[in-house]
Protein backbone atom coordinates (compact mmCIF):
# COMPACT_ATOMS: atom_id res chain seq x y z
CA UNK A 1 0.00 0.00 0.00
CA UNK A 2 1.23 3.49 -0.85
CA UNK A 3 0.60 6.15 1.76
CA UNK A 4 -0.68 9.41 0.31
CA UNK A 5 -0.11 12.91 1.63
CA UNK A 6 -2.83 13.88 4.09
CA UNK A 7 -3.56 17.59 4.61
CA UNK A 8 -6.62 17.05 6.79
CA UNK A 9 -7.34 19.67 9.45
CA UNK A 10 -8.39 16.94 11.89
CA UNK A 11 -8.52 14.14 12.52
CA UNK A 12 -5.10 14.62 11.03
CA UNK A 13 -2.32 12.35 9.88
CA UNK A 14 -0.11 10.50 12.32
CA UNK A 15 3.59 9.76 11.82
CA UNK A 16 4.06 6.61 9.77
CA UNK A 17 6.59 5.33 12.30
CA UNK A 18 3.96 5.58 15.04
CA UNK A 19 1.34 3.76 12.99
CA UNK A 20 3.77 0.99 12.14
CA UNK A 21 4.71 0.49 15.78
CA UNK A 22 1.04 0.46 16.79
CA UNK A 23 0.37 -2.07 14.04
CA UNK A 24 3.19 -4.29 15.24
CA UNK A 25 1.93 -4.14 18.82
CA UNK A 26 -1.77 -4.35 18.04
CA UNK A 27 -2.40 -8.02 18.85
CA UNK A 28 0.39 -8.61 21.32
CA UNK A 29 1.72 -5.68 23.33
CA UNK A 30 5.24 -6.41 24.59
CA UNK A 31 4.66 -10.14 24.73
CA UNK A 32 1.67 -9.91 27.05
CA UNK A 33 -0.57 -11.82 24.66
CA UNK A 34 -3.22 -9.12 24.28
CA UNK A 35 -3.67 -5.67 22.81
CA UNK A 36 -3.09 -2.63 24.96
CA UNK A 37 -6.64 -1.52 24.14
CA UNK A 38 -7.86 -4.66 25.91
CA UNK A 39 -5.91 -4.03 29.12
CA UNK A 40 -7.29 -2.66 32.34
CA UNK A 41 -6.41 0.99 32.71
CA UNK A 42 -5.38 0.18 36.27
CA UNK A 43 -2.97 -2.60 35.31
CA UNK A 44 0.68 -1.93 36.00
CA UNK A 45 1.36 -2.31 32.27
CA UNK A 46 -1.00 0.45 31.22
CA UNK A 47 -0.09 2.67 34.16
CA UNK A 48 3.51 2.50 32.99
CA UNK A 49 2.42 3.63 29.51
CA UNK A 50 0.36 6.48 30.96
CA UNK A 51 3.14 7.66 33.25
CA UNK A 52 5.71 7.58 30.45
CA UNK A 53 3.41 9.58 28.16
CA UNK A 54 2.91 12.26 30.79
CA UNK A 55 6.63 12.47 31.55
CA UNK A 56 7.53 12.69 27.87
CA UNK A 57 5.03 15.52 27.38
CA UNK A 58 6.44 17.31 30.41
CA UNK A 59 9.94 16.92 28.97
CA UNK A 60 8.92 18.15 25.53
CA UNK A 61 7.10 21.24 26.79
CA UNK A 62 9.11 21.99 29.93
CA UNK A 63 6.08 21.57 32.20
CA UNK A 64 6.94 22.19 35.84
CA UNK A 65 5.73 20.28 38.89
CA UNK A 66 3.30 23.10 39.77
CA UNK A 67 1.15 22.08 36.77
CA UNK A 68 -1.13 19.09 36.48
CA UNK A 69 -1.32 17.25 33.15
CA UNK A 70 -4.71 15.67 32.48
CA UNK A 71 -5.67 13.19 29.76
CA UNK A 72 -9.43 13.61 29.32
CA UNK A 73 -12.34 12.73 27.07
CA UNK A 74 -14.93 15.03 25.52
CA UNK A 75 -12.79 16.93 23.06
CA UNK A 76 -11.64 20.53 23.32
CA UNK A 77 -15.27 21.62 22.94
CA UNK A 78 -16.08 20.25 26.42
CA UNK A 79 -13.39 22.57 27.76
CA UNK A 80 -15.46 25.56 26.67
CA UNK A 81 -17.71 24.70 29.64
CA UNK A 82 -15.16 23.16 31.98
CA UNK A 83 -12.98 26.27 31.97
CA UNK A 84 -15.55 28.67 33.46
CA UNK A 85 -16.85 25.93 35.77
CA UNK A 86 -13.36 25.52 37.22
CA UNK A 87 -11.67 28.89 36.84
CA UNK A 88 -14.33 31.44 37.83
CA UNK A 89 -13.52 30.72 41.49
CA UNK A 90 -16.18 33.01 42.88
CA UNK A 91 -15.85 35.69 40.20
CA UNK A 92 -18.59 36.57 37.74
CA UNK A 93 -16.74 37.76 34.65
CA UNK A 94 -14.09 36.51 32.22
CA UNK A 95 -12.30 38.15 29.29
CA UNK A 96 -12.24 36.57 25.82
CA UNK A 97 -10.48 37.59 22.61
CA UNK A 98 -12.58 36.90 19.52
CA UNK A 99 -10.54 35.92 16.47
CA UNK A 100 -12.85 33.51 14.65
CA UNK A 101 -15.15 30.53 14.75
CA UNK A 102 -13.53 28.62 17.61
CA UNK A 103 -13.26 31.76 19.73
CA UNK A 104 -16.94 32.41 19.13
CA UNK A 105 -17.88 28.89 20.19
CA UNK A 106 -15.87 29.27 23.40
CA UNK A 107 -17.50 32.65 24.08
CA UNK A 108 -20.99 31.30 23.48
CA UNK A 109 -20.53 28.43 25.91
CA UNK A 110 -18.82 30.51 28.62
CA UNK A 111 -21.73 32.96 28.47
CA UNK A 112 -23.85 30.26 30.09
CA UNK A 113 -21.79 30.57 33.28
CA UNK A 114 -20.53 34.14 33.53
CA UNK A 115 -20.48 37.62 32.08
CA UNK A 116 -18.17 37.37 29.08
CA UNK A 117 -16.34 40.57 28.19
CA UNK A 118 -14.83 40.79 24.71
CA UNK A 119 -11.37 42.15 25.41
CA UNK A 120 -10.74 42.58 21.68
CA UNK A 121 -12.09 41.29 18.38
CA UNK A 122 -10.87 40.72 14.84
CA UNK A 123 -14.38 40.99 13.45
CA UNK A 124 -13.77 44.53 12.19
CA UNK A 125 -11.02 43.39 9.81
CA UNK A 126 -12.90 40.31 8.66
CA UNK A 127 -10.81 38.05 10.91
CA UNK A 128 -7.67 38.61 8.84
CA UNK A 129 -5.46 40.01 11.62
CA UNK A 130 -5.31 39.56 15.39
CA UNK A 131 -5.65 42.47 17.83
CA UNK A 132 -2.36 43.82 19.13
CA UNK A 133 -1.49 43.79 22.81
CA UNK A 134 -2.22 47.53 22.99
CA UNK A 135 -5.74 46.92 21.66
CA UNK A 136 -6.67 44.51 24.45
CA UNK A 137 -9.09 46.03 26.93
CA UNK A 138 -8.40 43.86 29.94
CA UNK A 139 -10.34 43.69 33.18
CA UNK A 140 -8.12 43.26 36.23
CA UNK A 141 -11.07 41.63 38.02
CA UNK A 142 -11.65 38.98 35.34
CA UNK A 143 -11.33 35.37 36.42
CA UNK A 144 -9.18 34.64 33.37
CA UNK A 145 -8.34 35.76 29.83
CA UNK A 146 -9.10 33.22 27.08
CA UNK A 147 -7.72 33.25 23.56
CA UNK A 148 -7.33 30.93 20.59
CA UNK A 149 -3.70 31.13 19.43
CA UNK A 150 -4.60 29.60 16.05
CA UNK A 151 -7.98 29.60 14.35
CA UNK A 152 -7.89 26.30 12.49
CA UNK A 153 -10.71 27.16 10.07
CA UNK A 154 -9.65 30.67 9.09
CA UNK A 155 -5.90 30.14 9.31
CA UNK A 156 -5.39 33.15 11.61
CA UNK A 157 -2.64 32.93 14.22
CA UNK A 158 -1.35 35.09 17.04
CA UNK A 159 2.25 36.17 16.61
CA UNK A 160 2.59 36.90 20.32
CA UNK A 161 1.37 35.62 23.68
CA UNK A 162 -1.06 38.11 25.27
CA UNK A 163 0.11 39.58 28.56
CA UNK A 164 -2.66 39.41 31.15
CA UNK A 165 -0.91 40.50 34.35
CA UNK A 166 -2.18 38.65 37.40
CA UNK A 167 -5.20 37.30 35.50
CA UNK A 168 -4.64 33.65 34.45
CA UNK A 169 -4.17 33.21 30.72
CA UNK A 170 -6.10 30.35 29.08
CA UNK A 171 -5.19 29.08 25.60
CA UNK A 172 -6.83 26.67 23.17
CA UNK A 173 -3.68 25.12 21.70
CA UNK A 174 -5.53 22.34 19.86
CA UNK A 175 -3.88 23.03 16.52
CA UNK A 176 -0.50 24.42 17.61
CA UNK A 177 0.54 22.40 20.64
CA UNK A 178 4.03 20.88 20.21
CA UNK A 179 4.50 22.67 16.87
CA UNK A 180 6.96 25.17 18.39
CA UNK A 181 8.49 26.02 21.73
CA UNK A 182 6.41 27.93 24.29
CA UNK A 183 6.88 28.96 27.91
CA UNK A 184 4.17 27.06 29.77
CA UNK A 185 4.71 29.32 32.79
CA UNK A 186 2.97 32.15 30.91
CA UNK A 187 -0.33 30.25 31.09
CA UNK A 188 -2.78 29.34 33.79
CA UNK A 189 -4.33 26.65 31.62
CA UNK A 190 -3.64 25.12 28.22
CA UNK A 191 -6.02 22.72 26.52
CA UNK A 192 -5.78 20.82 23.25
CA UNK A 193 -7.79 18.26 21.37
CA UNK A 194 -5.42 15.46 20.40
CA UNK A 195 -6.48 14.96 16.79
CA UNK A 196 -4.08 17.42 15.18
CA UNK A 197 -0.59 17.22 16.72
CA UNK A 198 -0.93 14.65 19.51
CA UNK A 199 -2.81 11.55 18.39
CA UNK A 200 -6.23 10.25 17.40
CA UNK A 201 -9.56 11.94 18.11
CA UNK A 202 -11.17 11.17 21.46
CA UNK A 203 -8.41 12.43 23.76
CA UNK A 204 -7.94 15.93 25.16
CA UNK A 205 -4.89 17.17 27.04
CA UNK A 206 -5.27 19.82 29.73
CA UNK A 207 -2.28 21.46 31.41
CA UNK A 208 -3.46 23.45 34.42
CA UNK A 209 -1.63 25.31 37.17
CA UNK A 210 -2.28 23.52 40.42
CA UNK A 211 -3.33 26.61 42.39
CA UNK A 212 -6.31 27.06 40.05
CA UNK A 213 -7.87 23.76 41.10
CA UNK A 214 -10.51 22.98 43.70
CA UNK A 215 -13.08 25.80 43.59
CA UNK A 216 -15.71 24.90 41.02
CA UNK A 217 -19.04 26.52 40.24
CA UNK A 218 -21.87 25.08 42.35
CA UNK A 219 -23.54 22.18 40.60
CA UNK A 220 -20.53 21.29 38.47
CA UNK A 221 -20.73 17.59 37.49
CA UNK A 222 -18.05 15.45 39.09
CA UNK A 223 -16.56 14.58 35.71
CA UNK A 224 -16.18 18.28 34.86
CA UNK A 225 -14.07 19.04 37.95
CA UNK A 226 -10.38 19.25 37.03
CA UNK A 227 -9.33 18.50 40.61
CA UNK A 228 -11.21 15.20 40.55
CA UNK A 229 -9.22 14.17 37.47
CA UNK A 230 -5.95 15.53 38.88
CA UNK A 231 -6.36 13.67 42.16
CA UNK A 232 -7.14 10.44 40.28
CA UNK A 233 -4.28 10.94 37.78
CA UNK A 234 -6.85 11.07 34.95
CA UNK A 235 -8.26 7.68 35.95
CA UNK A 236 -11.38 8.48 37.96
CA UNK A 237 -13.18 6.59 35.21
CA UNK A 238 -11.96 4.50 32.28
CA UNK A 239 -9.89 6.89 30.15
CA UNK A 240 -9.40 6.66 26.37
CA UNK A 241 -6.61 4.15 26.80
CA UNK A 242 -5.70 3.52 23.18
CA UNK A 243 -5.62 7.24 22.39
CA UNK A 244 -3.42 7.80 25.43
CA UNK A 245 -1.09 5.02 24.29
CA UNK A 246 -0.86 6.46 20.76
CA UNK A 247 -0.20 9.93 22.16
CA UNK A 248 2.68 8.43 24.11
CA UNK A 249 4.11 6.96 20.90
CA UNK A 250 3.83 10.38 19.23
CA UNK A 251 5.67 12.01 22.14
CA UNK A 252 8.50 9.49 21.79
CA UNK A 253 8.55 10.11 18.03
CA UNK A 254 8.86 13.84 18.69
CA UNK A 255 11.77 13.24 21.00
CA UNK A 256 13.44 11.09 18.35
CA UNK A 257 13.11 13.94 15.84
CA UNK A 258 15.08 16.18 18.16
CA UNK A 259 12.27 17.54 20.29
CA UNK A 260 10.07 20.57 19.82
CA UNK A 261 12.93 22.82 18.68
CA UNK A 262 13.65 20.53 15.72
CA UNK A 263 9.96 20.23 14.84
CA UNK A 264 9.65 24.01 15.03
CA UNK A 265 12.45 24.43 12.50
CA UNK A 266 10.79 21.95 10.13
CA UNK A 267 7.40 23.60 10.54
CA UNK A 268 8.89 27.00 9.82
CA UNK A 269 10.42 25.74 6.60
CA UNK A 270 7.15 24.11 5.51
CA UNK A 271 4.97 27.15 6.04
CA UNK A 272 7.50 29.59 4.59
CA UNK A 273 7.84 27.72 1.31
CA UNK A 274 4.07 27.21 0.93
CA UNK A 275 3.24 30.87 1.56
CA UNK A 276 6.09 31.90 -0.75
CA UNK A 277 4.55 29.81 -3.55
CA UNK A 278 1.16 31.40 -2.95
CA UNK A 279 2.59 34.92 -2.86
CA UNK A 280 4.61 34.37 -6.04
CA UNK A 281 1.42 33.58 -7.94
CA UNK A 282 -1.46 35.67 -9.26
CA UNK A 283 -3.50 32.47 -9.43
CA UNK A 284 -3.53 31.71 -5.68
CA UNK A 285 -4.17 34.02 -2.74
CA UNK A 286 -4.19 33.98 1.05
CA UNK A 287 -6.16 36.75 2.80
CA UNK A 288 -4.41 36.82 6.18
CA UNK A 289 -2.11 39.58 7.41
CA UNK A 290 1.42 38.31 6.87
CA UNK A 291 2.29 38.46 10.59
CA UNK A 292 -0.78 36.40 11.48
CA UNK A 293 -0.61 33.62 8.93
CA UNK A 294 -1.06 30.22 10.52
CA UNK A 295 1.86 27.83 10.47
CA UNK A 296 -0.45 24.85 10.78
CA UNK A 297 -3.47 25.68 8.58
CA UNK A 298 -2.83 27.41 5.25
CA UNK A 299 -6.04 28.49 3.48
CA UNK A 300 -5.84 29.68 -0.10
CA UNK A 301 -8.22 30.53 -2.91
CA UNK A 302 -8.00 30.16 -6.69
CA UNK A 303 -8.45 33.17 -8.92
CA UNK A 304 -11.43 31.39 -10.50
CA UNK A 305 -13.43 29.42 -7.94
CA UNK A 306 -15.11 27.54 -10.79
CA UNK A 307 -11.86 25.55 -10.91
CA UNK A 308 -12.09 24.47 -7.25
CA UNK A 309 -13.71 21.12 -7.97
CA UNK A 310 -11.20 20.26 -10.69
CA UNK A 311 -8.30 21.29 -8.46
CA UNK A 312 -9.47 18.96 -5.70
CA UNK A 313 -10.10 16.07 -8.09
CA UNK A 314 -6.68 16.33 -9.70
CA UNK A 315 -4.98 16.86 -6.34
CA UNK A 316 -6.48 13.63 -5.04
CA UNK A 317 -5.39 11.82 -8.20
CA UNK A 318 -1.89 13.09 -7.44
CA UNK A 319 -2.00 11.67 -3.93
CA UNK A 320 -2.76 14.97 -2.16
CA UNK A 321 -5.74 14.43 0.13
CA UNK A 322 -8.16 16.58 2.15
CA UNK A 323 -7.38 19.98 0.67
CA UNK A 324 -10.95 21.26 0.60
CA UNK A 325 -11.45 24.37 2.71
CA UNK A 326 -13.96 24.47 5.53
CA UNK A 327 -17.54 24.89 4.35
CA UNK A 328 -17.80 28.24 6.14
CA UNK A 329 -14.95 29.85 4.17
CA UNK A 330 -14.59 27.77 0.99
CA UNK A 331 -11.47 27.57 -1.13
CA UNK A 332 -8.62 25.27 -0.13
CA UNK A 333 -6.84 24.57 3.12
CA UNK A 334 -3.60 22.69 3.60
CA UNK A 335 -3.09 21.65 7.19
CA UNK A 336 0.59 20.97 7.69
CA UNK A 337 0.85 19.63 11.22
CA UNK A 338 3.93 18.00 12.71
CA UNK A 339 3.31 14.62 11.06
CA UNK A 340 3.04 16.12 7.56
CA UNK A 341 6.52 15.64 6.06
CA UNK A 342 8.31 18.40 4.22
CA UNK A 343 8.19 16.39 1.01
CA UNK A 344 4.38 16.55 1.18
CA UNK A 345 4.55 20.33 1.07
CA UNK A 346 7.02 20.14 -1.82
CA UNK A 347 4.62 17.83 -3.69
CA UNK A 348 1.71 20.19 -3.07
CA UNK A 349 3.66 23.20 -4.34
CA UNK A 350 4.71 21.32 -7.47
CA UNK A 351 1.09 20.34 -8.12
CA UNK A 352 -0.15 23.89 -7.58
CA UNK A 353 2.39 25.26 -10.02
CA UNK A 354 1.51 22.67 -12.65
CA UNK A 355 -2.22 23.30 -12.21
CA UNK A 356 -1.65 27.03 -12.62
CA UNK A 357 0.27 26.50 -15.87
CA UNK A 358 -2.63 24.49 -17.25
CA UNK A 359 -5.47 26.75 -16.14
CA UNK A 360 -4.27 30.31 -15.57
Of the listed 196, 225, 244, 253, which one is catalytic? 196
Burial string for 259-269 (b: 16+ CB within 10 Å, else e) reads ebeebbebbee
Question: In 3D, which of 134, 148, 150 has the Cα closest to residue 104?
Answer: 148
Q: What are phi and psi of 92, to 5 degrees?
A: -120, 0
268 near 295, Cβ under 8 Å?
yes
CA dihedral 59, 64, 65, 69 (to 10 degrees): -70
3-state secondary structure of 143: coil
Measured distance CA(14)–CA(339) in Å, rounded: 6
3-state secondary structure of 333: strand
Of the listed 56, 95, 172, 225, which one is catalytic? 172
324 is catalytic: no
Of the listed 29, 102, 253, 295, which one is catalytic? 102
38 near 200, Cβ under 8 Å?
no
28 is catalytic: no
Helices (H), 125-209: none
- Write the Ramachandran bin of 54: left for phi over 0, alpha for psi from -120 to 50, otherwise beta: alpha
Residues 6+ apart with CB under 8 A from 296: 150, 152, 157, 175, 176, 179, 196, 197, 267, 271, 335, 336, 337
172 is catalytic: yes
> Which value, in Å, is the radius of gyration of the alpha carbons in the chain?
21
Active centre residues (catalytic) = 102, 172, 196
Amino acid sequence: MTRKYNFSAGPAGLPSEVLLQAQEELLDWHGKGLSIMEMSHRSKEFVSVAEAAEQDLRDLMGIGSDYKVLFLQGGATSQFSMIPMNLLRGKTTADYINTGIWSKKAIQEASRYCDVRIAASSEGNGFTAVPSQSELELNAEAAYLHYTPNETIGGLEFDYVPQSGDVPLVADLSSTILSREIDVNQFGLIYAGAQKNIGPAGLTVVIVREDLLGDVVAGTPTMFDYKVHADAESMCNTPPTYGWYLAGLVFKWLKAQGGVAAIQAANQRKQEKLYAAIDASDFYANPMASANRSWMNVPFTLADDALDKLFLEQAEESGLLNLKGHRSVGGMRASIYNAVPEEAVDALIAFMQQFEKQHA
